[in-house]
Amino acid sequence: MIHGAQRNATLSIARYAYFAGAIALFLIYASPQALAQSQPVQAFSTAPEGTPPAPWRVVGLPGSNKPRTEFDIVQLGTERVLRVRADRSYANLSHKLDPAHTGYTLRWRWRLDQALAGADLRTKNGDDSPIKVCALFDLPLEKLGFVDRNLLRLARAASGENLPGATLCYVWDQKLATGTELPNAFTRRMHYLVLNSSTAPLQQWVTHTRDLRADFLRSFGGESSTVPPLMAILVGADADNTAQSSLAFVGDVSLMEQ
């Protein structure tokens, strides 16, 4: 019994680190000058083609030999955007934030050119996304239930990093209807909100503006009536569970204080 519980806890820790992150954890803070601007997220549109500009940084699963999702700046038409290519892979492109900032409106645009037909966010085997934009919140441990609180403590100890207490991911999904909100199949510390579904045409830009405060309370309001500070913003895609491929593009991501 003890060995089984320890094994399950270890698997939970690994899954937590895998999906929630270690993603904001290997990055440096933006400069004070950048943080003082109204848009504290480094733009893709002004970067040269190739590697995404710092402090954006690609983070895969530590210790894993899984292929990493590819992120690069490309010229698409008249502008430069982020290209996100997943091929049986997993990775996130993360941008750490000044933890003093709260109450943001998050704005970005994306387009999906190749979807993941086999993805199903309701299941562990189908838990892949062709494109997602996520907000990581520093939710205090005391706000969590007993099990989640101790799993998070163990995950932080195992990784040596300050993993987020709550992660909210906006996704493009082909199976679920727009507006669907659900927890990650592996951990309740991450919630998905479907913004585009199969009804949205491929290869066309879609712009989104989200009230992070309202969306946090929608997903995690049962645990906290106040919105904790943001730790990071990330862009991601994964196709390791479905063993498929996807292609998406993302324009500049901006944060505006409310």
Assign 252 to helix, strand or coil: coil
106 close to 253: Cβ distance less than 8 angstroms: yes
> Distances from the Cα of 257 to the Cαs of 132, 175, 207, 208, 235, in angstroms?
22, 33, 18, 16, 20
Q: Buried b vs exposed e over 28-58: b needs ≥16 C-beta within 10 Å?
A: eebeeeeeeeeebbbebeebeeeebeebbbb
Cα angle for residues 172, 174, 175 (degrees, 5° grid): 120
Helix (H) or strand (E) holding 45: none
Give the N- to C-terminal CA distance of the chain in Å, as an integer: 50
Backbone phi, psi, residue 90, to 5°: -145, 135
**Residue 1, pLDDT above cutoff 50:** no
Q: Please report the pLDDT score of residue 224 as a whole number.
A: 81
The pLDDT, as a whole number, for residue 181 is: 96
Q: What is the pLDDT of residues 22-44, one digit of tens each?
A: 333 322 222 223 333 334 899 99
pLDDT mean over 177-196:
93
* 30 torsion bin: left (phi>0), alpha (psi -120 to 50), beta (else): beta
pTM over 0.75: yes
Beta-carbon-side half-sphere exposure of residue 227 (alpha carbons within 13 Å): 23
Better-predicted residue by pLDDT, 99 or 127: 127
Q: Which of 113, 71, 107, 133 is nearest to 252 (CA)?
A: 107
Quote the radius of gyration of the chain (alpha carbons, Å). 17
Cα separation of 228 and 41, whole Å?
A: 19
Q: Span 14-21, mean pLDDT?
A: 42
79 near 252, Cβ under 8 Å? Answer: no
Q: Is-contact 118 126, C-beta < 8 A?
A: yes
55: preceding bond cis by omega (within 30 degrees): yes
Q: Please tell me the distance from the alpha carbon of residue 120 to that of residue 22, in angstroms, as a whole number.
A: 24
The average pLDDT across 149-161 equals 64
The pLDDT assigned to 144 comes to 64
Domains along the sequence of the chain with CATH: 2-257 (2.60.120.430)
